Chain A
Amino acid sequence: MFAPRLLPRLATSSVRSPLASTSSSLLASRRGFASSRTALASSLLYLEHREGELNAASLVALTAAKKIGGDIHAIVAGDEGVKEVADKASKCEGLSKVFTTSSPSYRGLLSEPLAPVIKALAEKGSYTHIFAGHTAAGRDIFPRLAALLDSSQVSDIIAVESEDTFQRPIYAGNAIATVKSNDKIKVITVRGTAFDKASEEGGSASVEEVGSDAAETPTKFIEDKLSKSDRPDLATASRVVSGGRAIKSAENFVKYIEPLADSMKAAVGASRAAVDAGYADNALQVGQTGKIIAPELYVAVGISGAIQHLAGMKDSKTIVAINKDADAPIFQVADVGLVADLYEAVPELIEKLK
């Protein structure tokens, strides 16, 4: 019970806090962690977008920011069409202001022009917290921003305990660290599966254009080569079917895993072994070094369940494992396990799901 000692004037989220019994701190805890007796918290959210759509992990980061309390402003930076995205963002529940800035140099979400722009805005607005989703872009831009602000970033948080204390997984999710940031500006990235997405409706934030004096940087965006698919997006799908090393070939991946995913209206994932062996695209990798997901249903086919893979999917609601090896570690986390040859079980399963 160090929380009350470390945060003497703040109501913490914990109902066990002795402060929670007073009416003023009850009110404060309902608003967030900020109370009238402390400097008000205010957050700046880097709102990522692509092809006119707001990034799901950014909306999750917005939910985390709401737990701090205080005003939440967002920055939407981009090239053409950024105004439309900013209008969309202004309707997000919880945002009171959306800054928008436009420049061709923001294409490809490069950190060199974006980090200084966010820094300038952060200092001008005296924000106490700056949030982003722990996406590839968030992971690229935010540490650069944190260094510019001389702040020690808190990466990939999964819980907000108070306005300066956060939980984050370490060692591939095999331990959870609770860390307290003493930095003036707290730079934080949020795990995309740790909170619910903020609603894209019900808000009415003002939109303010900020000039772009994006400096010329040596880095040039050339192109993105994104995997096109009609299936649900892996990061946000409610169901995922993943294939592992036992699939043995790229042909088998197309023949067994994809139809099974389609029969469940699921996204397709893969273990690192399957990706390294060339059976599946890099973008499909689930694990510590790939995507970290938490769907309603995760079906692991021919995946042994190495630590690094479990780090990416063990927060799924229901885990199903199909594996020939009854001793595979995946069965220790699976809610439903089937010890069977995938080449027989998968076609049968597809047939029975029709």
Chain B
Amino acid sequence: MHGTLATMMRPTPISSALRILVPVKRTIDYAVKIRVASDGKGVDTNVKHAMNPFDEIAVEEAVRLREKHKEAVSKITAVSAGPAKSADVLRTALAMGADDAIHVEIPDNSLGGPLEPLAVSKILQAVIKKAGEEEEVGLVIMGKQAIDDDASQTGQMLAARLDWPQATFASKLEFLGKLEKGEEVQITREVDGGLGIVKTTLPFVMTTDLRLNEPRYASLPNIMKAKKKPFKKYSLKDLGLEEDAKPRLEVLKVAEPPKREGGAKVEDVDALVGKLKELGRI
């Protein structure tokens, strides 16, 4: 009985365990052929949406880290900023294995323009601060870019604001020591011309490249379980960011790119070579 009591009394080593934050974005599904909206100010968003593919990779990496280091990862928190429907991608993250979710709800058209990466970095910084009141965040894993605005900025901006190191476009993450503050990690990054290897220490912000992992599908039982997981909601007001989240860039116009006309098909290799010579390409 003594042993059991001692086990129960032992303080939970929260301070040394790692809480991971995974920001996720709801975007138009990658397979949808987008159409420019008739007002020329955006695209038609009345189409299928899903979690940004790079963010799925981020959730997967966090879940795998915990599967590999059970005691070391204390909690995986998914966070998303956007309209009410963004809750869908948070549910997906929970079904993939995240423990709790934070939704910073920003009603559509409430900002007078799109939510920009700079604003999201401020929101995430505020969320990390708020979450820290309960348990400190020691690692942020997020996608390298969202497939809608293709900006590739938010992770780097967040790292700058937190004054944390950043490891962008990561295709491999290896922990060399324990999963604790100050411990060293090695990251393989996809750079122009090949791979780059860096070492850094926790806490840091990592952005995921395609080849980091293959995300799992959420199983039906896990989707059901996800509905019972803790889900917090904040407004920009709660975070004190009503002004800071406003767009800095004005979108004057969104237009179709110039159409490319497919040319004729040729019969055989001889005709192909002839055509290329005619065009002066070989």
Binding site for B on A (CB under 8 A): 2, 6, 50, 108-112, 115, 135-137, 139-148, 150-156, 165, 169-183, 217-227, 233, 235, 239, 264, 272, 275-276, 281-283, 288-289, 296-297, 307-308, 314, 317-320, 322, 326, 331-340, 345, 348-349, 352-353
Contact = CB atoms under 8 A, between A and B. Distances in A.
Contact of B276 (A108, A154, A281, A320): A320
Contacts of A156: 150
B224 interface: no
Main secondary structure of the interface of A (DSSP, over half): mixed
Contacts of B270: 352
A154 B114 CA distance: 13
Nearest to A272: B210
Contact of B160 (A115, A276, A352): A115
B269 A349 contact: yes
B74 interface: no
A73 B273 CA distance: 46
A335 B116 CA distance: 38
Contacts of A182: 248-250
B254 A155 contact: no
A239 B276 CA distance: 12
B252 A178 contact: yes
Given A337-B264, A345-B269, A283 B257 contact: no
A318 B28 CA distance: 30
A154 B249 contact: yes
B80 interface: no
B33 interface: yes
A224 B150 CA distance: 26
Given A175-B254, A307-B31, A336-B279, 15 more contacts: A111-B166, A136-B189, A136-B191, A139-B156, A150-B118, A170-B43, A171-B147, A174-B257, A175-B257, A179-B249, A179-B252, A219-B199, A282-B190, A320-B272, A332-B262
A353 B260 CA distance: 27
Nearest to B28: A171
Interface residues of B, number: 79
Nearest to A311: B150
Contact of A337 (B165, B265, B276): B265
B29 to A, nearest CB: 11
A173 B257 CA distance: 7
Interface of B: 28, 30-31, 33-34, 36, 43, 116-118, 121, 145, 147-161, 165-169, 171, 186, 189-201, 204, 209-211, 247-257, 260, 262-266, 268-273, 275-276, 279, 281-282
B198 A335 contact: no
B248 A336 contact: no
6 contacts: A143-B160, A219-B204, A226-B193, A283-B195, A297-B276, A339-B265
Contacts of A283: 190, 192-195
B197 to A, nearest CB: 4
A147 B253 contact: no
A141 B152 CA distance: 11
Contacts of B121: 147
Contacts of A172: 147, 150
